[in-house]
Amino acid sequence: AAAFSQSFVDMPRPGRPLQVAVIGAGLAGLSCAKYLSDAGHEPIVLEARDVLGGKVSAWQDKDGDWIETGLHIFFGAYPNVNQMFTELGIRDRLQWKSHSMIFAMPGQQTTDGFQRFSRFEFPDLLPAPLNGLVAILLNTEMLTFPEKIQFGIGLIPAILFGQKYVEECDSLTVTEWMSKQGVPDRVNDEVFIAMAKALNFIDPDNLSMTVVLTALNRFLQETHGSKMAFLDGPPPTRLCQPMADHMLARGGELRMNQRISEILLNDDKTVKGLKMQDGSVVVADAYVSTMPVDVLKLMLPDEWRPIPYFDKLNGLTGVPVINIHMWFDRKLTTVDHLLFSRSPLLSVYADMSLTCKGYRDDEKSMLELVFAPAKDWIGRPDADIIEATMDELYRLFPNELNKDGSGAKLLKSAVVKTPLSVYEATAGRELYRPVQTSPISNFFLAGCFTKQKYLASMEGATFSGKLAAKALADAAAAGTIPLKEAASAVAA
């Protein structure tokens, strides 16, 4: 990742910097703009909303508390994101947690009445994959020894045939793969329902096995791959703003509240300009869309729709997910980590008053919880969602929360619904993910749904932006992007 970043800085400076309109200021857009500016070009980032970050965006409520679009975890196996923090000089903002994976055991209590957890502890002194194997072998609460062995045998083809096998498994759901490999159903129920919901907000009956194998591969190959970090505060100020500042300092531009409504074409189907919602038109030398795939599909010009590259996008759709915040009048837990809920409605959760310096509170808890699968709940009122979540929390916190109201009190809550979030990684989706270079010479794509090996994640988004910036800068150097006339002459 460091060498890839350096390649932008080392590129020969362009004779005339390209003005590049980057649509969207999520991680893909900001990453693309950053690296374009490193290569000596002039990105103009056009963001529809008044907040940076897209799916990592956050805002303050009337009390000044931060509301986030999603509970976000950074992994050791995110080379480009970690490199971004280094390049921006903000590595200290990543708060790394102990190298463990902690699963809740809903309904089960310790002898003194507290919630029970089951931990996979990765020993610090051992390299990958030994640390992962020891973590799995030492956990005795969730899987029996024969179940672990059967799962291990099921993984042999992945170990022997590597990435090719991982990609072939896209035709199977996690559940189908488990039964094909003779892995007992309990492995699925105990571990992979929680993992599937955490990876893509859907159940293993729907999730592509490629997603799980990709994650396992990274975790088993990289010593710190499964180590997790929380950002120390809201992503827009703690991460996105420094990304924007980097490109602004190098001649880039950021325009907020700029929603594009139409992509205007020349006769040869190249992009002529972007029509904005206020009627104005933005003209650049080249264009990068980082809009979510569902928005992009609506925005495609009719002339592009029959082109296979764009037609393929119809195979991708965003998955619904709900992010919940709950403030309690006292501390519910002392666990400073991400927790896999293993409960029907929830995916993962964390007490952000412990895990995140910026939200620290020594007296009270602020739980952030990912509610998934959310397809049957996304249209329901917030009050129903909170009530259903409370029902799960009574089982997760048997000692702290009581239905009779005698335990901790819920002070307030906030529900953030994202009806179409990251692309739904059901079996067979890999075929539909587009590469960053489109058949249109001055139009490129980025976004976590575009083709890269890190799936729909912050790393995937950041890496896709970097790949699009590279493809564009290379095309500019090769002279394959038609330059616009007047305005660019002024810009030069």
Which residues would be at the binding site for ligand FAD (CB under 6 A)?
Answer: 23-29, 46-49, 54-56, 69-73, 259-260, 290-292, 295, 321, 323, 370, 418, 421-422, 447-448, 456-461
The nearer residue to ligand FAD, 51 or 401, going by C-beta atoms, is 51
In the bound complex, what is the minimum distance in angstroms from residue 282's beta carbon to ligand FAD? 10
The nearer residue to ligand FAD, 25 or 427, going by C-beta atoms, is 25
Going by C-alpha positions, the residue among 139, 74, 128, 70 that lies closest to residue 102 is: 139
Q: Which residues contact 238 (CB under 8 A, 6 or more apart)?
A: 90, 93, 231, 232, 358
AA identity, residue 236? P
The nearer residue to ligand FAD, 24 or 154, going by C-beta atoms, is 24
Number of H helices, E strands in the chain: 18, 20
DSSP character at residue 150: H
Question: Is residue 7 classed as helix, strand or coil in its secondary structure?
Answer: helix
What is the crossing angle of helices 209-221 and 156-168, to 10°?
130
The nearer residue to ligand FAD, 243 or 476, going by C-beta atoms, is 243
In the bound complex, what is the minimum distance in angstroms from residue 51's beta carbon to ligand FAD? 8
The nearer residue to ligand FAD, 30 or 143, going by C-beta atoms, is 30
The nearer residue to ligand FAD, 83 or 323, going by C-beta atoms, is 323
In the bound complex, what is the minimum distance in angstroms from residue 342's beta carbon to ligand FAD? 17
Please give the radius of gyration of the chain, using alpha carbons only, rounded to the nearest integer: 23
DSSP character at residue 319: P
Cα 430–Cα 431–Cα 434 angle in degrees, nearest 5: 90
DSSP character at residue 1: -
What would the two tokens of residue 7 be?
A: 């390649």
The nearer residue to ligand FAD, 422 or 467, going by C-beta atoms, is 422
The nearer residue to ligand FAD, 251 or 419, going by C-beta atoms, is 419
Residue 99 φ then ψ, to 5° = -80, 80
Question: In 101-143, which ranges are continuous DSSP H helix?
Answer: 130-138
What would the two tokens of residue 35 be?
A: 């690296």
In the bound complex, what is the minimum distance in angstroms from residue 348's beta carbon to ligand FAD? 8
AA identity, residue 434? P
Question: In 441-485, which ranges are continuous DSSP H helix?
Answer: 458-478
Burial of 14-39, coded b for 16+ CB within 10 Å and e otherwise, reads eebbbbbbbbbbbbbbbbbbbbbbbb
Q: Are strands 228-231 and 19-23 parallel, antiparallel or unpaired?
A: unpaired
CA distance 378 to 433: 25
Question: In 169-233, which ranges are continuous DSSP H helix?
Answer: 174-180, 185-187, 193-200, 209-221
The nearer residue to ligand FAD, 79 or 447, going by C-beta atoms, is 447
CB contact at 8 A, 182 and 154: yes
The nearer residue to ligand FAD, 72 or 250, going by C-beta atoms, is 72
The nearer residue to ligand FAD, 183 or 345, going by C-beta atoms, is 345
CA distance 422 to 455: 9
